[in-house]
Chains A and B, each alone.
Chain A
Amino acid sequence: GDSVTQMEGPVTLSEEAFLTINCTYTATGYPSLFWYVQYPGEGLQLLLKATKADDKGSNKGFEATYRKETTSFHLEKGSVQVSDSAVYFCALSTLGGTALIFGKGTTLSVSS
């Protein structure tokens, strides 16, 4: 079945460091891909999305490119801030499915 695998955390970085969180997927058909972020004590918020191969989603300095050939959707940010500390979830959705399939989440901790 469809699945999402993302790197295990926690990821600990200093402020202004470069961030990569890896995400790969397995899906039949052509999924849409999402990154969600969960700040402490809150629900999930959509961070960015991409709906077809080679699309790049971006928001708040974060970027991810839909790579069909490597079935990946890695999240990157050039310079992280303390306020980026959160749990990040990669997810996919296919036209044949209504619900999202989530990865297990990666905790990011940024220190000043």
Chain B
Amino acid sequence: DVKVTQSSRYLVKRTGEKVFLECVQDMDHENMFWYRQDPGLGLRLIYFSYDVKMKEKGDIPEGYSVSREKKERFSLILESASTNQTSMYLCASSLPRGVQPQHFGDGTRLSIL
């Protein structure tokens, strides 16, 4: 089975901090994704990556950046955390064609105080 592991289930940070969310997948998938999930809004794509060192903006990239130095690892960075970034963050991975299902981690619930 594909395993997507997010480094933290719960995280509490302060406004203005630089925050790193880590995601690792073990199935050699080319594609990796970061979403945020908010009540009433569903899942919204922040960034995705289709190869090492490659990245594409999703629907809501403002205030975020990403890093993919190795194929199995995709990091989401909040450059200067703000309270409106309090949310559930989900990482996913998939094979390189769009019709392939995505495999999700269990999520990181991030609170910015």
> Which residues 87-113 of B sit at the A interface, judged by CB distance below 8 A?
90, 92, 96-99, 101-107
Kindly list chain B residues whose C-beta atoms are within 8 Å of the C-beta of A34: 101
Do the beta carbons of A44 and B90 come within 8 Å of each other? yes
> Given A43-B107, A45-B104, A99-B58, A93–B99 Cβ distance below 8 Å?
yes
> Given A95-B99, A99-B58, A105–B42 Cβ distance below 8 Å?
yes
Main SS at interface, chain A: loop
| A97 on interface, CB distance cutoff 8 Å | yes
> Given A43-B90, A95-B99, A102–B43 Cβ distance below 8 Å?
yes
A-B contact count (CB 8 A): 54
Do the beta carbons of B101 and A49 come within 8 Å of each other? yes
> Which residues 7-59 of B sit at the A interface, judged by CB distance below 8 A?
31, 33, 40-43, 45, 48, 50, 56, 58
| A94 on interface, CB distance cutoff 8 Å | yes
Interface size of A in residues (CB-CB distance below 8 Å): 24
Do the beta carbons of A96 and B107 come within 8 Å of each other? no
> Given A51-B99, A95-B97, A99-B48, A43–B106 Cβ distance below 8 Å?
yes
Closest to B6 in A: A43
Interface residues of B, Cβ cutoff 8 Å to A: 4, 31, 33, 40-43, 45, 48, 50, 56, 58, 90, 92, 96-99, 101-107
Closest 3 CB pairs of A and B: A43-B104, A104-B42, A32-B99
